[in-house]
Amino acid sequence: MSMQNVTVELPAPKPLRLTQTALFLDLDGTLAPIAARPQDVGPDPRRTSLLERLAVKLEGRLAVVSGRTLADVDRILEGCVTSVAAVHGLVVRDPSGAVYETPPHPSLSLAAAGFAVLAARDPHLLVEEKGGLSVALHFRLAPEYAAAARACARDLARRTGLALQEGDMVEELRTPGANKGDSVRAYMARPPFAGARPVFVGDDATDEFGFEAVQSLGGAGVRVGEPRLTEARFGLLGVDAALAWLEAAT
């Protein structure tokens, strides 16, 4: 990836033209504010209504691409989006509603146990197991453990062969396999997404694969949040700005 300079403030994206767009949306930090604990994010009438309108006007060319489990995405979005790539693309629900899941890595239990040892030091360190495909250590409530969390995750990745996914105040070890960009490319290869201009909206390092994918297909990446090193060519300053931009198209 040849990312843009961290100091560059990205221009705002142009208004969406829904008749020409295939829209891919991250969830946390994009459609919903980041919460101290993952389970604290819940349904929101404004967000659900917006996604329902988008799905209709896009004629199904809408997908949520998230690190959360499929069940968690459906809980937060009240099941209003059919096409979902969950656990960074390891679980995919296609436009027909069929679900495809990557077989879990045999060393996930070892990784979960390793994270649990570190998390036992402080109740603010949270271990999240994602449907047997991934395990994450959240340290947002205990930032003083950032270095220890990173060291632990890297050591476990080396010993287990699991893929290390570093996010916003979280270290995640996941079954090797598809990433968010792979999920975008898979959706774009089939109806109703095929032939449209893809747009990916996301906020953190895990979304860079999505930005790269849509831009390689002639589309645009839109990064949500303060300026930082990114593949995206456009930017919105936060969740409220992202929701307002999407609402303006509906």
Q: Which residues pair with 202 in a beta bridge?
A: 223
Rg of the chain taking only CA atoms, in angstroms: 18
Chain centre distance of CA 60: 19
Which residues, in sequence order, are CB contacts of 239 under 8 Å at separation 6+? 29, 30, 31, 32, 33, 224
Respond yes or no on whether the N-terminal peptide bond of residue 176 is cis (omega within 30° of 0): no
List strand residue ranges (DSSP E) for 87-202, in order: 91-93, 99-101, 126-130, 134-138, 163-167, 170-174, 197-202
Three-state secondary-structure class, residue 212: helix
Catalytic residue IDs: 26
Q: How far apart are CA 58 and CA 47, in angstroms?
A: 16
Cβ atoms 87, 130 nearer than 8 A: yes
